[in-house]
Amino acid sequence: MENFMSDADDISSSYGDETVLTHLGRNPKDQHGFVNTPVVRGSTVLFESFEELESGKRQYAYGRHGNPTNDAVRHVITNLERADDTFLAPSGLSAISTALTAVAHSGDHILISDSAYEPTRQFCESVLRPNKIDVEYYDPRIGSRISDLIRSNTTAILTESPGSLTFEVQDLPAIAQARGNREIAIIADNSWATPLYYKPLELGADIVVHAGTKMFVGHSDVLFGTISTNEKWTNKVRGAYKALGVCVSPEDSFLVARGLRTLSLRMKEHQKRALDLAHWLEGHALVEKVIHPALKQHPDHDIFMRDFTGSGSLFAFTLKDAPKNAVSEMLNHMRLFGMGYSWGGFESLILPVTIKQQRSATRWKEEGNLFRLHIGFEDFDDLKADLDDAIKRYAAEANF
């Protein structure tokens, strides 16, 4: 692991995640007592002498290869994920594409969950497949049966648990066991639960990626990604990462570090509000189904309870099928729920989703129109009223 600036390093192993979030990645003694690691802008780093330049021993030698503001974030995420190291990317998608590029080469076979984030599929189709990497999608509920799909040239298995549109929970320990000792990197997209509620490396994954854009940032104002690796895969990922020239702005890292300080409090609140609203929707006469892995009737609830210690802000519900004008009537007049991509901010969001286009290995069987919700920090009664009115507009337009 690289040498980080914080002297909280020595204490990190014995402290809990909330202490890690508040104390790591900053060292007031190094910055005139000011609490936070400042934004250090720069490309060129000046050397004192020819000998120092030649020694290669400087902690920072060039802006693309490291910077104290960026290291503040790396340090916190590495600790939370129980990882060996963390690399920063300019978006969640860039974290995923960099991780896949590091472990998949021409002639290799890779397995991608059918529930994976749609742009992950697009990267596989438009970059990996044309470069002669055999991409195969698998049923997210496959568990140990993934052993039937593993070939001698398989080099990566990508999981996303739960899927950010359909919320299938994957049996990561079973997948890891089926992988055994083979040189196959299991890459887990952990954006939904964050490392506070799910630790993929402890369950058998090798590489964890995050859309830091979502929960780490928490304010809908930065695009960011992280790649955390276990000891086995650090060098391989670092090699590809450096060669590709992937790097991030220290301004963005500063905002991510700031977001991380309140991650635990925000997640607790997101979790509670999302569950309250999910329960309320379950009892709503016009709602067909609520899809949230923390609800008892979710098909993967047992795996969820076994492997996760909490749940996120994001879940879905379905309404009986109705023509587009009902969806339009419902969404166009919402007062609080914003309509837009992404999630993870302080504000609530709703997104209509059509799943069919995003599937190839499995068929999405849920009937009706699906809406994905991100629950933010508005007053609960105001959110309920906004959603209730919206659902009633939908039903009225559809003549239910």
Ligand X SMILES: *Cc1c(COP(=O)(O)O)cnc(C)c1O
Site residues for ligand X, 349-388, by CB under 6 A, read none
Binding residue for ligand X (CB under 6 A) from 159, 164, 226, 253? 164
The active-site residue out of 108, 114, 189, 252 is 189
Q: What angle do CA 86, 88, 93 make, to 5 degrees?
A: 115
CB environment 213-251: b (16+ within 10 A), e (fewer): bbbbbbebebbbbbbbbbeebbebbbebbeeeebbbbbe
The active-site residue out of 214, 258, 273, 393 is 214
Residue 179 CB neighbour total at 10 angstroms: 21
Site residues for ligand X, 176-195, by CB under 6 A, read 189, 191
Instruction: Write down the least CB distance from residue 384 to ligand X, Å.
Output: 25
Binding residue for ligand X (CB under 6 A) from 84, 160, 252, 307? 160
- Taking the C-alpha atoms of residue 80 and residue 102, their distance in angstroms, rounded to an integer, is 23
The backbone region for 347, taken as left when phi is positive above 0, alpha when psi lies in -120 to 50, beta otherwise, is: beta
Instruction: Write down the least CB distance from residue 187 to ligand X, Å.
Output: 11
By C-beta, is 178 or 211 nearer to ligand X? 211
By C-beta, is 225 or 250 nearer to ligand X? 225
Binding residue for ligand X (CB under 6 A) from 4, 87, 117, 394? 117
Residue found by looking up tokens 């992988």 in the block: 179
Annotation marks residue 182 as catalytic = no
The torsion defined by the Cα of 11, 13, 19 and 25, in degrees rounded to 10, comes to: 70
By C-beta, is 68 or 345 nearer to ligand X? 345
Are the C-beta atoms of residues 318 and 289 closer than 8 Å to each other? yes
Annotation marks residue 117 as catalytic = yes
Site residues for ligand X, 49-108, by CB under 6 A, read 91-93
Are the C-beta atoms of residues 77 and 228 closer than 8 Å to each other? yes
Pairing label, strands 185-189, 369-374: unpaired
By C-beta, is 6 or 98 nearer to ligand X? 98
* Residue 311 CA to its chain's centroid (Å): 13
Q: Does 255 bind ligand X (CB under 6 A)?
A: no
Piece of the chain touching ligand X by CB under 6 A; list 104-112, 142-150, 209-217, 302-310: 209-217
Residue 108 CB neighbour total at 10 angstroms: 19
Closest by CA to 358, choosing from 160, 211, 188, is 160
Instruction: Write down the least CB distance from residue 258 to ligand X, Å.
Output: 17
Binding residue for ligand X (CB under 6 A) from 5, 188, 223, 395? 223
Annotation marks residue 64 as catalytic = yes
Interface residues with ligand X (CB under 6 A) are 91-93, 117, 160, 164, 189, 191, 211, 213-214, 223, 225, 342
Q: Which residues are catalytically annotated?
A: 64, 117, 189, 214
